[in-house]
Structure formats: structure tokens, C-alpha cells
A and B are shown apart, each in its own frame.
Chain A
Amino acid sequence: MNTICRHMTESEHESLPCLCCGHLATRCERTHGPDTEAVRRPVARWLATALGALLLALGLAFACARADEPLPGDSVYQLELPLVDQDGTAFDFGAGRGRPRLVSMFYSSCKYVCPMIVDTLKKTEHALDPARRAGVDVLLVSLDPDTDTPAALKQLAAQRHIDLPRWRLANTDATHVRRLAAVLGIQYKQLGKAEFSHSTVLVLLDAQGRIVARSEKLGEADPAFVAAVERQLAGG
């Protein structure tokens, strides 16, 4: 039985998405309408893609310029961590070097992930200077690799209108889940099949993979955390 849920009133249950309440999972199964926004205005979309590609290229160039330097000893990219994203593409955790990155861990026993973590990340991004927003990457790693297959992650990304590929949803094996949680300071415990208890932490990494800020605030953007992201986007 879920401690938080046990402490909540029915209305609080209603306002809290399926994140914490595995046994209330059915509530989360509301379907989103088709994403009509994305197919509108093809020209704008083309422009956005081109701009995105340009930014990505710039980002890569920046990353390559720094990749030769040894990693700082406290960089979480010291951890060898093979990941697979929502497209089934294998990549290494350290591939995020060169740009600031928001990282968190989640699981999706209710099929659509912990919506509050996604919501909070979105709100955090929304609070950023729009001109700089595209400069930060987001990585969400599943605690539950058995359930959160690439296909499941892909579906989630579509349902939650997640900004791919700047956001990446990924999984890894159970041993590496534990190691990543350890370096990020995220505690979790498996309670049963596809049910976990975990601390909800958003972690901000600098371009070298050092933890520069963390936030445990859920449901709204944490001003101190937003300011820390802004500082990273402004060049540290």
C-alpha cells in the first residue's frame, strides 16, 4: 500500500496523477486527443526542424570541442551507462556531455509514466527564457526496464507531447538502474511487479556532467532550480 496515497483524501487523489498511486492507475488511462497541432502549418514546422538541426549541429560541435578533455572526477558521466531510447537507439549516458541536461528517473506502471515528473520538467522549461530553452536537454530513465520498453516510451512521448529528440526517454538494465540512481542520489525500492517507491528528484547536470542543482519540488517549477538552469544556459 502506498504511503502517500494512504494519507490523502479522495480529492487529493484526483488531483495527483498516477505517479505515486499504482493501485489508482486506471485514473491515468484517459486518452489524449489526436495531436492536430503538429500537422498544422507545415512551413512553420519545416522552419522549426531546420532551426533544430542547426542548433543540434552547433551543440555537437561544442560537445566535440570539449570531448578530449578528461572528465572531472565528480562527473556522473564517469558512470558507464548503456541506454536505449524511445526509438530503440542505443546511446551512452556520457553522450550528453557538452550541454546542460535535466535528468530524472521514473516508471510507468500506469502506462503513461509519472506525469508529474514530466509536468514539472515542462513547467521548469516553460519558466526559462524562450530564446534559450532549446539549449538544455532532458533525459528520463526508467526504473522499470521490463515494462518500459522503447515502444512503451515512444507511446508515452507521443501521448505527453514530448519534445523529441531534445528530450530522451530511455531504459537500461536493472544493475545500471541502481548505479544511476546511486550517482543521482535517487532512492527507490521495487514493491512489486511494476510498482516502485522512489524519491522524485530533478537533477541538473552541467556540460561536464557535474550535478549543479537538484529539486524535489513536484507539480510546479522550483524558482531556485529554474535560476540554476538559466545560469547554465548563460554559460555556467
Chain B
Amino acid sequence: MAQGRISGCTAPRASRARRAALAIALFAAAGAAHAAPAYVDIPATSFLSVIETGPDAKPQRIAAFALRVEPVTNAQFLAFVNAHPQWQRGRAPSLFADAGYLSHWQSADALGGTALPGQPVTRVSWFAAQAYCESEHARLPSWLEWERAAAASDTVADARGDAAWRRQLLDWYAKPSTGALAGVGGTPNLYGVRDLHGLVWEWVEDYAALMVTADSRDQNDPDRLKFCGAAALSLRDRENYALLMRIAMLSSLKAADTTANLGFRCARSLPTTVTP
């Protein structure tokens, strides 16, 4: 079922096959036992974000891109830090990762019993997430890319107007996050992307630009000159609490912060195609 949806993407199959072949070749060369992480193409579209900077905001053009099907797991991040020891817990400079970085792992190079291989990796900073994505020849998605992919239900590209779907998201956000995280591999959405909702918060490349106020971390200082330009974003679509919560959470972070429920997935730009 998911396969059928993925093949419904607009990108030509040949190019995807070529990329897959290349990825397989790379992994075979590296002698890796497991398959390369899957990415799916998300077609170009015009999209109106819940964040807007003016009263007459127009939909923005989002180019086609590839998005990682699943968030990065503990096992995958472990392989990364083993290959790049400068990102091990205890070795990453405090500039790039706070004291909580990977603190739920048993040690710098072992998951132990409390962090399962198939769980999404959490307690990672924005810098660490970026470094990981670079190792997959990828980058973090922009907020707009993430929001656009996450707007899809399993049947429609933009389910944001669907009250039942929104209710489903809210149920997750309302659930206390005290239990153990589930493994990755939830139900795929229209594009075949899994776990965009219901598992973890996710870093985005431009998380720091999701400014709701001049500086949401310093609300006691209403010094207007501190901020230049259209910082005071108005939030459209107040029905969409689930996304607003995510935006509020991301805006409150600093790049070295790590939290128990914050993971990430990567994205890749696609070669630009000429559109009429």
C-alpha cells in the first residue's frame, strides 16, 4: 500500500532507481551490512505555512526535495559517532552540544539497555543533527519543507483542514511523554514518510527563524530596537494547535540544546528541473 503511494510521486522512476543504485554501490563499497536509509521524493508545491509574516501572505513555492522516510535511530547515530569520534558524548565541544547530549546512552560508544537501536535518537543538538545529515550527504529540512511533508495524511497532501486528522495529532501532543519512546516505523503518510507526528519533535535547519515574538526567550525585555524588521510573526490558522506547539517548542531552543523528545531526520535538495 505504501509502495503504491510512493510510486505515485511525480519524479521519474529512472532517477530514483539511479540514486538507489548509487546508494547501494556506496554501501557495498563501505562493506556495510545494513541498507542505506530510505528517502522519498516530495514533489514541488505551493504551500501556505501556519507561520506568516503579514496579513496578506501568499503561498510559497517549495521546490521538490527528498525527505528521509524515518527519523534517525539510535543505531544509526551510534554508527555515526563511531565513524566520527569527535561527535561522541564527552568529546563534542560544549559549544555544539549541552551536557545532556546522548546522556541516555550507556556510554560514549554503546547504547546499553535504556536506548534501543530502533528508537529515534534524541538528546541531540542542532549541530550534531547537521553533522549527521552531512554524513548522509544530506541536510536538515527547512521548517517549510517539514511542515509541507507533515501536512499530508495517508490519503491527501494537505489534511490541515480535516478536523478528525487534527484531533488525531492533538491526541499525541496531549499525551504525557513519560513512557519509553516507540521505535521508528509508524504508518506512512501519502508520500511514504513515517513518524512525522506521534513520535518525537524534530530539528529543522531554520528553527531559530521561527520567531513568534522578537525573542521568545527574553519576554521581559520589550526593547523594540533589539529586533529588526518583521519579527513579530502573526500565526495564522489558530486551529492548528499541534503545529503551533511544535513551533513554540522549536523557537525556545538554542542550537546546542538537547532534550529527551527531540530527534531529527534529514532531507536532500533535488536537482532543479525547469517548470513551465
A196 to B228 Cα, complex, angstroms: 8
Report yes or no: B255 in contact with A199, Cβ–Cβ below 8 A. no
Give per-residue flags for A181-206: 1 if the beta carbon is below 8 A from chain B beta carbons, else 0. 11101011111000111111000000
Report yes or no: B255 in contact with A197, Cβ–Cβ below 8 A. no
A175 to B227 Cα, complex, angstroms: 22
Check A159 for interface membership: any CB of B closer than 8 A: no
User: Looking across the interface, which residue of chain A has its beta carbon closest to that of B225?
Assistant: A218
Chain B binder among A27-35, A36-44, A75-83, A86-94? A75-83
Main secondary structure of the interface of A (DSSP, over half): mixed
Shortest CB distance B232–A (Å): 5
A190 to B208 Cα, complex, angstroms: 11
Check A166 for interface membership: any CB of B closer than 8 A: no
Q: Which residues of B have CB within 8 Å of A188?
A: 208-209
**How many residues from A make CB contacts under 8 Å with B?**
37
Residues in A11-37 with C-beta less than 8 Å from chain B: 19-20, 22
Check B53 for interface membership: any CB of A closer than 8 A: yes
Partner of B255, one of A75, A78, A182: A182
Check A235 for interface membership: any CB of B closer than 8 A: no
Report yes or no: B93 in contact with A3, Cβ–Cβ below 8 A. no
Report yes or no: B254 in contact with A178, Cβ–Cβ below 8 A. no
Shortest CB distance B269–A (Å): 12
Check B175 for interface membership: any CB of A closer than 8 A: no
Check B168 for interface membership: any CB of A closer than 8 A: no
Name A's B-contacting residues (CB within 8 A): 1-4, 7, 19-20, 22, 71, 73-76, 78-79, 114, 175, 178-179, 181-183, 185, 187-191, 195-200, 216, 218-219
Name B's A-contacting residues (CB within 8 A): 53-54, 93-96, 126-127, 130, 139, 205-206, 208-209, 211, 214-215, 223-232, 254-255
